[in-house]
Chains A and B, each alone.
Chain A
Amino acid sequence: MNKTVTILDYGSSNLRSVAKAIETVGFTVKTVRSRAEIVAADVLVLPGQGAFQQAMAELQGLDVIDVIRAHIQNGKPYLGICLGFQILFESSSENGDHAGLGVFKGKVQHFDEVWSPEVKAKGLKVPHMGWNQLQMKRDPIGVFVDVEMPISTYFVHSYAVFDTEHQVVSTTTEYGVPFVSSVQTASLFASQFHPEKSGTLGLKILSSVLHQF
Chain B
Amino acid sequence: MLTKRIIPCLDVTNGRVVKGTNFVSLRDAGDPVELARFYDEQGADELVFLDITASSDKRAILKDLVARTSEQVFIPFTVGGGISDIDMIRELLILGADKVSINTAAVSNPQLIFDASAHFGSQCIVAAVDVKRVSSSVAVYPIAEVSLDASSRFEVFTHGGRHATGIDAVKWAQFLTDKGAGEILLTSMDKDGTKDGYDIELTQAVASVVKVPVIASGGAGALSHISDILTVCDAALLASLLHFKELTVEQIKTHCDHMQLPIRRI
Distance in angstroms between the alpha carbons of A56 and B195 in the assembled complex? 50
Listed from nearest, the 6 A-B pairs whose CB atoms lie closest are A152-B264, A131-B264, A130-B2, A131-B3, A13-B93, A127-B123
Supposing A13-B120, A125-B211 touch, asked if A199 and B96 sit within 8 A by C-beta, the answer is no
Within 8 A of A (CB), among B50-96: 70-71, 74-76, 93-96
Q: Which residue of B lies closest to A126 (CB)?
A: B211
Does chain B have a CB within 8 A of A21? yes
Asked if B45 and A20 sit within 8 Å, CB to CB, the answer is no
Does chain A have a CB within 8 A of B266? yes
Q: What's the tally of chain A residues with a CB closer than 8 Å to chain B? A: 30
Count contacts between A and B, CB distance < 8 Å.
76
Asked if A127 and B182 sit within 8 Å, CB to CB, the answer is yes
Does chain B have a CB within 8 A of A132? yes
- Which of A's residues lie within 8 Å of B, judged by CB? 13, 16-17, 20-21, 24, 49-50, 123, 125, 127-133, 152, 154, 156, 174-175, 196-203
Within 8 A of A (CB), among B91-122: 93-96, 98, 120-122
Supposing A130-B213, A131-B264, A197-B98 touch, asked if A21 and B123 sit within 8 A by C-beta, the answer is no
By CB atoms of chain A within 10 A, which of B1, B5, B182 has the most? B1
A203 CB contacts on chain B under 8 angstroms = 74
A20 CB contacts on chain B under 8 angstroms = 70-71, 74, 96
Chain B, interface size: which category? 20 to 34
Asked if B94 and A131 sit within 8 Å, CB to CB, the answer is no
Q: Within the complex, which residue of B45, B71, B212 is in contact with A131, where a contact is CB–CB below 8 Å?
A: B45
By CB atoms of chain B within 10 A, which of A130, A197, A202 has the most? A130
- Which of B's residues lie within 8 Å of A, judged by CB? 1-3, 5, 40-41, 43, 45, 70-71, 74-76, 93-96, 98, 120-123, 182-183, 211-213, 234, 264, 266
Asked if A130 and B5 sit within 8 Å, CB to CB, the answer is yes
- Between A and B, 20 residue pairs with Cβ closer than 8 Å are A13-B93, A16-B94, A17-B96, A20-B71, A127-B123, A127-B182, A128-B2, A129-B123, A129-B183, A130-B45, A130-B213, A132-B1, A132-B3, A156-B98, A174-B1, A175-B2, A197-B76, A198-B75, A200-B266, A201-B266
Asked if B3 and A130 sit within 8 Å, CB to CB, the answer is yes
B212 CB contacts on chain A under 8 angstroms = 125
Supposing A16-B70, A17-B96, A132-B3 touch, asked if A197 and B182 sit within 8 A by C-beta, the answer is no
What's the minimum C-beta distance from B250 to chain A, rounded to whole angstroms?
14
Asked if B123 and A156 sit within 8 Å, CB to CB, the answer is yes
Supposing A17-B96, A199-B40 touch, asked if A130 and B74 sit within 8 A by C-beta, the answer is no
Supposing A13-B120, A21-B74, A125-B212 touch, asked if A131 and B2 sit within 8 A by C-beta, the answer is yes
Q: Which residue of A lies closest to B5 (CB)?
A: A130
B266 CB contacts on chain A under 8 angstroms = 199-201
Distance in angstroms between the alpha carbons of A133 and B182 in the assembled complex? 22
Asked if B45 and A200 sit within 8 Å, CB to CB, the answer is no
Q: Within the complex, which residue of A123, A127, A128, A197 is in contact with B75, where a contact is CB–CB below 8 Å?
A: A197
Q: Within the complex, which residue of B2, B75, B95, B122 is in contact with A16, where a contact is CB–CB below 8 Å?
A: B95
